[in-house]
């Protein structure tokens, strides 16, 4: 298990984490900031000039998961992780990958009023004792108060909140330990096993009466997606699409959907690639749209979007697949793609 202590700078994550170690038998401190420091030593300096934060590195996010899994083979756990995580897509990627490894997460937000945060940041000093370093770190902390305020809505929906405004580090740790013991902050994310080889996946495009396409927002990976999923062994792809739509949205399609696109996705480590099929699930009536249900462990939201809106929401590989699927739907003829590019 991982006890992820989220919150901005000044919330008391690190001091509380050390206190939590005394209250949870077998627990170990796991600080992903050390992975960021290591990457700064190993990657070219130019790479860090291209980003604002080491969390923007896909390598860091993957290492967080891989290192946690490795540590849990050496210690009984839980791992206590004091780490600010303000971008929801990074939360999805990290927590979803942990769920795929069958590593449960307790997400706890340590929150404090902004005036208290500013007071704590003003008193913050670094171990080096260098005034210039202290001032630089304080500026960095203050700059994150705005992004933290903007992220609060989704974090509070996702995490168990402990208000540290008037708590000592020990009192904070006691509340965290009690939350862990009672199961508070559990992230019930669908446990999608990580692939070990190429996969076959089937997605289904559903439309409203304005010809907008339905996209869903998974809890276990970043970015919007089409309804659908991996085709199980021995399962027909069209049947898999129908099954996934029923499981994800509670919609029973009356017939097998028509194929729009077959796309070969090239392997891109750590991904294995494989065949991706998109089917036309047809137009949903207003009555059927009102019946849409979301499994909280798998999807957090859905919406109908125009083609232009979809371009801003989908990763490039999915956007290419969608735009060609829409052209195939207009022409009434399926398309064969390789890496998002039509053949023939």
C-alpha–C-alpha distance, residues 46 and 265, integer Å: 29
pLDDT tier, 168 (very low <50, low <70, confident <90, very high otherwise): very high
- Give the pLDDT confidence score for residue 129 in this predicted structure: 67
- Give the pLDDT confidence score for residue 84 in this predicted structure: 95
Are β-strands 2-6 and 79-82 bridged in parallel, bridged antiparallel, or unpaired?
parallel
Answer yes or no: is pLDDT of 190 > 80. no
pTM: 0.81
pLDDT tens, residue by residue, 97-134: 999 899 999 999 999 999 999 988 888 776 766 777 77
Answer yes or no: is pLDDT of 260 > 70. yes
Tell me what percent of the residues of the chain surpass a pLDDT of 90: 74
C-alpha–C-alpha distance, residues 98 and 186, integer Å: 13
Query: Which DSSP string corresponds to 71-138?
Result: HTTTS-SPEEEE-----HHHHHHHHHHHHHTT--EEEEEEE--HHHHHHHHHT---TT--HHHHHHHH
């Amino acid at each position: 298990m991982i006890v992820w202590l989220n919150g901005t700078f000044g919330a008391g994550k690190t001091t509380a984490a050390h206190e939590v170690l005394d209250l949870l038998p077998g627990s170990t401190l796991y600080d992903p900031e050390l992975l960021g420091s290591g990457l700064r030593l190993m990657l070219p300096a130019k790479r860090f000039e291209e980003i604002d934060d080491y969390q923007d590195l896909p390598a860091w996010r993957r290492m967080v998961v891989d290192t946690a899994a490795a540590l849990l083979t050496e210690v009984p756990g839980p791992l206590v992780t004091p780490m600010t995580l303000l971008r929801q897509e990074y939360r999805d990627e990290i927590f979803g990958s942990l769920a795929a490894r069958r590593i449960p997460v307790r997400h706890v937000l340590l929150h404090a009023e902004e005036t208290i945060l500013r007071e704590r940041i003003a008193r913050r000093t670094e171990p080096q004792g260098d005034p210039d370093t202290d001032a630089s770190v304080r500026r960095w902390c203050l700059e994150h108060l705005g992004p933290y305020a903007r992220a609060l809505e989704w974090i509070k929906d996702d995490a168990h909140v402990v208000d540290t405004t008037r708590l000592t580090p020990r009192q904070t740790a006691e509340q965290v330990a009690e939350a862990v013991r009672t199961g508070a902050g559990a992230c019930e994310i669908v446990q999608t096993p990580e692939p070990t080889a190429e996969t076959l996946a089937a997605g289904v495009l559903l439309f409203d009466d304005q010809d907008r396409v339905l996209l869903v927002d998974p809890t276990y990976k970043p970015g919007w997606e089409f309804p659908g999923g991996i085709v199980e062994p021995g399962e027909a792809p069209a049947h898999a699409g129908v099954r996934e739509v029923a499981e994800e949205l509670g919609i029973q399609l009356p017939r097998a959907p028509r194929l729009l696109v077959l796309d070969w996705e090239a392997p891109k480590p750590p991904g294995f690639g494989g065949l991706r099929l998109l089917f036309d699930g047809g137009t949903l009536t207003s009555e059927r749209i009102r019946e849409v249900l979301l499994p909280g462990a798998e999807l957090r939201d859905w919406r109908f979007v125009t083609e232009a809106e979809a371009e801003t929401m989908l990763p490039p590989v999915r956007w290419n697949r969608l735009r060609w699927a829409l052209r195939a739907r207009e022409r009434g003829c399926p398309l064969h793609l390789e890496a998002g590019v039509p053949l023939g």
